[in-house]
Each structure stands twice: as structure tokens, then as C-alpha cells.
Amino acid sequence: MAKKNTKNTIQPTIEGDLNTIKRLLMVFLIKTGVSLSELSLALQMDPANVSRMLPIRKIKKYKDQ
């Protein structure tokens, strides 16, 4: 018999998925040229905490063609 999905078993996967989406959006914004200070304002976080979340220096920005 299959187990019922309860709120407790679903919640961790939803939180993980939301964190993954958040990181992907942050990488996209950084690649398009958004500064760390703008990103930290949007997230209402300290810039130091934002830079700990992502290795911003390792992310290559898009170049104009």
C-alpha cells in the first residue's frame, strides 16, 4: 500500500526546490550585471550574507556582442 503524502514529508522538498530556484535567479541576475548591493537590497539581506550564498567572483557575466 502506498504511503500518504503528509505535510511533513512534502514540506522539506518544497523548501529545497524554492531555495534552488532562488539561487538560480540570483545567478541569472548576477550574470546580467546586477550589483551585489542591489541584490542584497532586493533580498533584504546583508551583502556579506549574499556573497556567502554564492561564489559571485566565479560567475562570469554576459558580454555584449
- pLDDT (tens digit, 0 to 9) for every residue of the chain, 65 residues total? 445 555 556 667 888 999 899 999 999 998 998 988 999 999 899 989 988 888 777 777 777 65
Q: Using CA atoms, how far apart are residues 10 and 18, in angstroms rounded to an integer?
A: 13
What pLDDT is stored for residue 21 in this prediction?
A: 93
Q: Tell me the whole-structure pTM to 2 decimals.
A: 0.67
Q: Using CA atoms, how far apart are residues 4 and 65, in angstroms rounded to an integer?
A: 53
* Phi, psi (deg, nearest 5) at residue 61: -85, 155
What pLDDT is stored for residue 4 in this prediction?
A: 54
What pLDDT is stored for residue 1 in this prediction?
A: 45
